[in-house]
Amino acid sequence: MNVLRHATLAVGLGLLVALPFVTPPYFMHLLIQILLWGFIYTAWSMMGRFGFVSLGHGAFMGVGAYVPALLWNYYDVTPWIGIPLGVVLSVLLALIIGYPCFRLKVIGHYFALVTLALSQVVMLSVVAARNVTGGSLGFTPKAAGHSWYALQFPEKSYFYGISLVLWLGGLVIWWVIDRGIGREALDAISEDEEAAAAIGINVMREKLRVTVISAALTALGGAILGQYLMYLNPETVSGIAVSLQIVFAAIVGGMYTMLGPTVGALLTISLNEGLRVGFATNFIGAANTIYGILLILCIIFMPRGIVGVLERLRVRRQPPKAE
């Protein structure tokens, strides 16, 4: 069994690495987006699976994407410095919001609404500072051709490699959290905070840690997405729409499993592209109409998501272990 698993893993990885040599650029573009969004969705579900439903990840993504781009355009600072700076700022933002929230026990839909306000603050600030950020018209980083210094590559294979590494890194972090002792603590906290505190769990530390990790990875994902697309728009990297998009893709895919959020990304992006190609522009909104219905059904009938359901089916087929 274990050998089989390792073999599948090796073959899967081999296929993913080999893909850029055989795929046309259009599919490459889709794959990069799936990997990057999959990474961001995975980052979100690190919090979401423990019941901290944040609608503020658009804020972290926005800060992560805009800071390196602005520094690059106005001060010629390389993204190699700009991206870490953006990530640090996002983490600070997460701490500023997270600490009082956790201290005052702002949970459930109150937490969701406070974080929603945060993502609106970032989005509207970007729009308000239109002299610097271009406002709703968006922002284009200065092009530098093929350059490691500027982290810009016209050939898609480079970004494919970067996204693949990022995505794998995200999965590893997810796995480490899943296997670590902190996970038991977080599970206990999501069941009952007072009881968790009573048995000696440092509720604040556990919650802040997972929040900081989640925010940092989301900011990183946003930054790389911005570098790849070479175009930032406040509506597409921050604000309520992106925050909800992140939450829903993670839920549809299944936020309790490692590959769930990635499956969510795969599903939503291919649905979008399929309908776009199939119906062209006279059918604007079709993808999201179907997506919306899918979401409602998903939350009502399978809150554990697609991968969650598949996993449960597999477990059920196996005979129960003898005591």
Residues lying near another protein in the complex (CB under 8 A): 51, 53, 97, 100-101, 104, 106, 108-110, 112-114, 116-118, 120-121, 124-125, 127-128, 239-241, 244, 247-248, 251, 283-289, 291-296, 298-300, 303
Q: Which CB, 79 or 234, lies closer to another protein? A: 234
Residue 293: CB minimum distance to another protein, A: 6
Q: Taking a C-beta distance cutoff of 8 angstroms, is the pair 255, 305 a contact? A: yes
Cα three-residue angle 295-300-304, rounded to 5 degrees: 80
259: DSSP letter: S
Side chain identity at residue 298, one-letter code: C
Q: Which CB, 31 or 249, lies closer to another protein? A: 249
Q: Which CB, 121 or 197, lies closer to another protein? A: 121
How far is residue 212's CA from residue 219's CA, in Å, rounded to a whole number? 11
Q: Which CB, 215 or 251, lies closer to another protein? A: 251
Cα three-residue angle 293-57-188, rounded to 5 degrees: 90
Phi, psi (degrees; rounded to nearest 5) at 186: -65, -40
Residue 240: CB minimum distance to another protein, A: 6
Q: Which CB, 79 or 239, lies closer to another protein? A: 239
How does DSSP assign 290-316, residue by residue? HHHHHHHHHHHH-TTHHHHHHHHHHHH
Residue 70: CB minimum distance to another protein, A: 17
Q: Which CB, 209 or 304, lies closer to another protein? A: 304
Residue 108: CB minimum distance to another protein, A: 6
Residue 49: CB minimum distance to another protein, A: 12
Q: Which CB, 225 or 247, lies closer to another protein? A: 247
Residue 41: CB minimum distance to another protein, A: 14
Q: Which of 165, 137, 164, 159 is nearest to 146 (CA)?
A: 159
Residue with tokens 């018209």: 137
Residue 169: CB minimum distance to another protein, A: 28
Please, what's the b/e burial string for 2-29 (b: 16 or more CB within 10 A of its CB; e: otherwise)? eeeeeeeeeeeeeeeeeebeebeeeebb
How far is residue 308's CA from residue 26's CA, in Å, rounded to a whole number? 30
